[in-house]
Amino acid sequence: GQEADWWRRAVVYQVYPRSFQDTDADGVGDIPGITRRLDHLDALGVDVVWLSPVYRSPQDDNGYDISDYEDIDPLFGSLADIDELIAGLHARGMRLVMDLVVNHTSDEHEWFTASRSSKDDPRRDWYIWRPARTVEGLEPGEPGTEPTNWGSAFSGPAWTWDEGSGEFYLHLFSVKQPDLNWENPQVRRAVYEMMGRWLDRGVDGFRMDVINLISKTYPLVDGPLRPGALYGSGFEAVANGPRIHEFLAEMNREVFASRPGHVMTVGEMPGVTRAQAALYTDPSRAEVDMVFQFEHVGLADGPHGKFDPRPVDRAALKANLAAWQEALAPQTDAQGAVVAERGWNSNYWDNHDQPRAVSRFGDDDPAWRALSAKTLASVLHLHRGTPYIYQGEELGQTNTVFTGIDSYRDLESVNHFHERVGVGDDPQAVVAAMAANSRDNARTPVQWDASEHAGFSTAAPWIDLAPNAEEVNAAAQVGVPGSVFEHHRALVSLRHTDDAVALGTFRLLDAADDASWVILREHVGAQGGREQVLLIASCSREGLALGEGSAMRERLAAEGLDLGRWAEAERVLTASLPAEQAGASGAGVPERLEGWDSVILRRR
Ligand code: TEU
């Protein structure tokens, strides 16, 4: 609907275009492919599509290095194709959120080619240039004369020497992604005008790439150097800089405030804290609607920490996500009714930068994969805030297999490999260490059916399919009761129809137990009616005893949740049964939940 808060009940589906659907037989997904698959998204029931970048780009970072914000890269199609996609989405009552990458551009953007052309070019100050540091025995521009000790998120230093103009330029990401200078009002103006033209074209919002990095803390000085790290952290030195709220409020005022409908905005914010997120998403501050935080996906250890895979500490994961729910919890009145929003969460398990959810947080053994994928989805979608479904997550797609460095495509992985081998690490050990968390796990093609190339393309895909495409694919799941897809469809529908799920308060119970996940949602209606929704999930193969006298029932009772009072509660959705059979399976809390099963109960 058009009500201002339509987005609070929305479920967002992320499309990573190069791996979604190819229609011109080049092995790379494209925009017409998305339009062709809109029925799939419609069947899932999602409201918004977040489309990763399709703008002109040298594809150094798969499109997150933009050389023209207002044209479409021929790899993905044309402006006419994006207009057709927008029309197709709108015709189905769905919306399009574009990926806005304005912390940096490509080094092939005309702004940068002008800026680097000379120190006196009018666009010189659109980027961040610094002279070499004077170091005894080193020529300016030589390694060791960089202006600060910062490292790029994609290995190597965050500064690259430009011989022509005799200075270094800053790039927190790849050499081909120079950071824009947001202190320059001309840069801000150019970005806002470009955003306005996309909204004029019918786009409904933006996902803002690393947007909390655009305000740097000046002067630029060395960052903290972790033990063993080759470089200092650039992120920590610049994230959440002194003018970030000023810039976001200005962007909101200049671009969104004047629009008739609500422009949906989500800021991707590596290193954001819960306290800061409450400021960024407080509706009264008019900055962004919600943020993507990284605490639960380990970025807090810094980008390279990600390649040292460690087992999931589920109790810590539960506590982390519950702390985010608390930090952005609404204000409620004495009866528990929500009276004002303080902030808003984005809830995700994975995206194009993270490994696959079921492999990382679930159990991708074939015997447990589907059930754990469904239970993970129930856990995610029972949190308060907007849930994000990453392409393939609705199918329970898993990580892939890397047989060697040639299996990898992502510059983050490839650069890391060369950096580690360069300092003497064993190549095969590095390839193995990257496998669990490489971004390429999420970038294998969507598995549409069991045909060659999984229905993704008629040509060999740009990156190998995951090995289980014949078993795990949409054709085997859409419309099939009990499938991971149908479970996601039921969860999306639940958010659309149930106020406790969409708008209710959140409470985590039995937090210390890492083999279960118990969430209570409560909503007090305008007429005073109270509704409660309870999720009990088993998060291991062992299962949970819940009957009278069970340790878990005792622990929950000690926290004030008497499962006896749920004996007649409606079973809304279980993971082990098709959605339509949940109610027929009986009422109330089952005696036990088998491994990775879960149940969503409702009582009024
Ligand atoms: O990601 C920013 C970001 O924090 C991640 O790159 C993170 O550092 C790393 O990937 C964790 O594994 C955004 C985009 O989502 C990502 O695809 C881009 O590579 C990056 O910005 C630069 O635009």
pLDDT at 249 over 50: yes
pLDDT at position 301? 55
Q: How far apart are CA 36 and CA 26, in angstroms?
A: 16
Q: Is the CB of 209 under 6 A from ligand 1?
A: yes
Supply the ipTM of this predicted assembly: 0.97
Distances from the Cα of 349 to the Cαs of 378, 402, 415, 439, in angstroms? 12, 22, 25, 13
Strands (E), 378-419: 386-390
pLDDT at position 106? 99
From 166, 126, 133, select the one nearest 147 (Cα to Cα). Answer: 133
The CATH 2.60.40.1180 domain(s) of the chain lie at 498-603
Neighbouring CB atoms inside 10 A of 191's CB total 20
From 269, 365, 319, 299, select the one nearest 508 (Cα to Cα). Answer: 319
pLDDT at 396 over 60: yes
Distance 353 CA to ligand 1 centre (A): 6
The upper half-sphere exposure of residue 579, i.e. CA atoms within 13 Å in the direction of its Cβ, equals 17
Q: Once rounded to an integer, what is the mean pLDDT over residues 418-430?
A: 95
Q: Which residue has better confidence, 154 or 239?
A: 154
pLDDT over 70 for what percent of the chain? Answer: 98
Q: Is the CB of 271 under 6 A from ligand 1?
A: no
Q: Once rounded to an integer, what is the mean pLDDT over residues 384-398?
A: 98
Return the residue whose CA atom lies nearest to atom 5 of ligand 1: 353
The CATH 3.20.20.80 domain(s) of the chain lie at 185-344
pLDDT over 90 for what percent of the chain? Answer: 91
Q: What is the DSSP string of 417-451?
A: HHHHHHTT--HHHHHHHHHTT-GGGG-SPP--SSS
pLDDT at 303 over 60: no
Tokens of 571: 């079973």
**Best residue among 209, 299, 307 to mutate for probing ligand 1, ranked by most atoms within 8 Å of CB:** 209
pLDDT at 299 over 90: no
Q: Is the CB of 442 under 6 A from ligand 1?
A: no
The CATH 3.90.400.10 domain(s) of the chain lie at 105-179
**DSSP classification of residue 389:** E
Q: Once rounded to an integer, what is the mean pLDDT over residues 174-186?
A: 98
pLDDT at position 36? 98
Strands 68-72 and 55-56: antiparallel
Q: Using 50, 70 and 90 to split pLDDT, how confident is the model at 563?
A: very high
User: pLDDT tens, 106-117?
Assistant: 999 999 999 999
Q: How far apart are CA 422 and CA 16, in angstroms?
A: 31
Q: Is the CB of 45 under 6 A from ligand 1?
A: no
Q: Once rounded to an integer, what is the mean pLDDT over residues 125-154?
A: 97
Q: Using 50, 70 and 90 to split pLDDT, how confident is the model at 306?
A: confident
Q: Give the CATH superfamily of 105-179.
A: Oligo-1,6-glucosidase; Domain 2 (3.90.400.10)
Q: Give the CATH superfamily of 498-603.
A: Golgi alpha-mannosidase II (2.60.40.1180)
**Best residue among 210, 238, 240, 409 to mutate for probing ligand 1, ranked by most atoms within 8 Å of CB:** 210
Return the residue whose CA atom lies nearest to atom 20 of ligand 1: 64
Return the residue whose CA atom lies nearest to atom 14 of ligand 1: 209
Neighbouring CB atoms inside 10 A of 118's CB total 12
Return the residue whose CA atom lies nearest to atom 4 of ligand 1: 270
Mean pLDDT, rounded, of the chain: 95
Q: Is the CB of 297 under 6 A from ligand 1?
A: no
Q: Is the CB of 64 under 6 A from ligand 1?
A: yes
Q: Using 50, 70 and 90 to split pLDDT, how confident is the model at 236?
A: confident
Distance 299 CA to ligand 1 centre (A): 10
**CA terminus-to-terminus distance, the chain:** 26
Return the residue whose CA atom lies nearest to atom 10 of ligand 1: 353
pLDDT at position 302? 46
Neighbouring CB atoms inside 10 A of 421's CB total 15
pLDDT at 300 over 60: no
Q: Which sequence positions are flagged as catalytic?
A: 209, 268
Least confident of 423-427, 443-447, 527-531: 527-531
Q: Is the CB of 306 under 6 A from ligand 1?
A: yes
Indicate the pTM of the whole model. 0.98
User: pLDDT tens, 312-367?
Assistant: 899 999 999 999 999 999 999 999 999 999 999 999 999 999 999 999 999 999 99
User: pLDDT tens, 194-205?
Assistant: 999 999 999 999
Distance 210 CA to ligand 1 centre (A): 7
Query: Does domain 185-344 sit in CATH 1.20.1730.10?
Result: no
Q: Is the CB of 204 under 6 A from ligand 1?
A: no
Q: Is the CB of 270 under 6 A from ligand 1?
A: yes
pLDDT at position 310? 77
pLDDT at position 528? 81
pLDDT at position 223? 85
User: pLDDT tens, 458-494?
Assistant: 999 999 999 999 999 999 999 999 999 999 999 999 9
Neighbouring CB atoms inside 10 A of 242's CB total 10
Return the residue whose CA atom lies nearest to atom 2 of ligand 1: 210
Q: What is the DSSP string of 244-287?
A: HHHHHHHHIIIIITT-SSPPEEEEE-TT--HHHHHHHT-GGG-S
Helix (H, G, I), strand (E, B) or coil at 564: helix
pLDDT at position 226? 82
pLDDT at 1 over 50: no
pLDDT at position 18? 98
Tokens of 265: 């905005």
